[in-house]
């Protein structure tokens, strides 16, 4: 595996936390579309776990704060002078994702920095069983097995009791796998003490 700090332009490489994606900055651009054939031409992440502002010359990185959609709207409404981005927000869409940065990068920031994302990318499409290996997170293995068993049970003459058992197991493992699908941002509540 190559060192991600030495790779120019768009790249995708494995890290122990997920896929890494480099997003080159463009002066005066707030949003970047990520996906095959998009501004950042690489498979889009389903979820972003970490974001870093990476100096292209020195390789130094500064961790960026990932904002939830609600918090992002609050940040954007404060006005923006072009500068170095410190916040990001990521919205996965259908087959693409939108990465937004704030403050909007100026020409110096765009020529000096890029954003390095670490996130979960979508699963590959499978065309043949001989050339593709299933690559799912471990928490999804039993969910996939039992959901497939639910689908195949009638074809293999499973009794009603067996179907009920398989359906309960499928629901249990699917709920377990879905518990991993939460937004990676914090929400804070506080009392407004204005008189």
pLDDT tens-digit series, residues 90-128: 999 988 999 999 999 999 999 999 999 999 877 665 556
pLDDT tens-digit series, residues 126-157: 556 665 566 677 788 899 899 999 999 999 99
Given this model, what pLDDT does residue 130 score? 63
Q: Which of the given ranges, 30-39, 171-180, 182-191, has the highest pLDDT on average?
A: 30-39
Cα(116)–Cα(13) distance, integer angstroms? 11
Mean pLDDT of all residues belonging to the chain: 82
Assess contact for 33 and 39: CB atoms under 8 A.
yes
- Please spell the DSSP secondary structure of 121-178, one letter per residue: PPPPP-S-TTT------GGGHHHHHHHHHHHHTGGGT--HHHHHHHHHHHHHHHHHHH
pTM exceeding 0.85: no
Given this model, what pLDDT does residue 191 score? 82
For residue 16, pLDDT over 60 is answered with no
Given this model, what pLDDT does residue 53 score? 97
Residue whose token pair is 């990521």: 90
Given this model, what pLDDT does residue 3 score? 39
Beta-sheet pairing, 97-102 with 47-55: unpaired
């Amino acid at each position: 595996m190559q060192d991600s700090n030495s790779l120019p332009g768009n790249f995708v490489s494995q890290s122990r936390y997920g896929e890494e994606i480099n997003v080159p900055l463009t002066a005066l651009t707030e949003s970047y579309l990520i996906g095959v054939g998009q501004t950042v031409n690489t498979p889009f992440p389903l979820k972003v776990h970490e974001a870093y502002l990476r100096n292209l010359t020195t390789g130094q990185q500064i961790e960026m704060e990932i904002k939830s959609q609600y918090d992002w709207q609050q940040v954007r409404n404060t006005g923006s002078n072009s500068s170095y981005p410190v916040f990001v927000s990521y919205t996965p869409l259908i087959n693409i994702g939108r990465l937004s940065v704030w403050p909007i990068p100026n020409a110096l920031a765009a020529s000096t920095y890029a954003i390095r994302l670490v996130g979960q990318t979508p699963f590959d499409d499978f065309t043949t069983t001989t050339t593709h290996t299933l690559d799912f997170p471990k928490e999804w293995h039993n969910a996939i097995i039992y959901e497939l068993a639910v689908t195949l049970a009638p074809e293999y003459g499973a009794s009603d009791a067996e179907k009920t058992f398989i359906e309960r197991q499928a629901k249990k493992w699917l709920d377990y796998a879905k518990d991993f699908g939460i937004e990676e941002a914090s929400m804070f509540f506080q009392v407004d003490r204005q008189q």
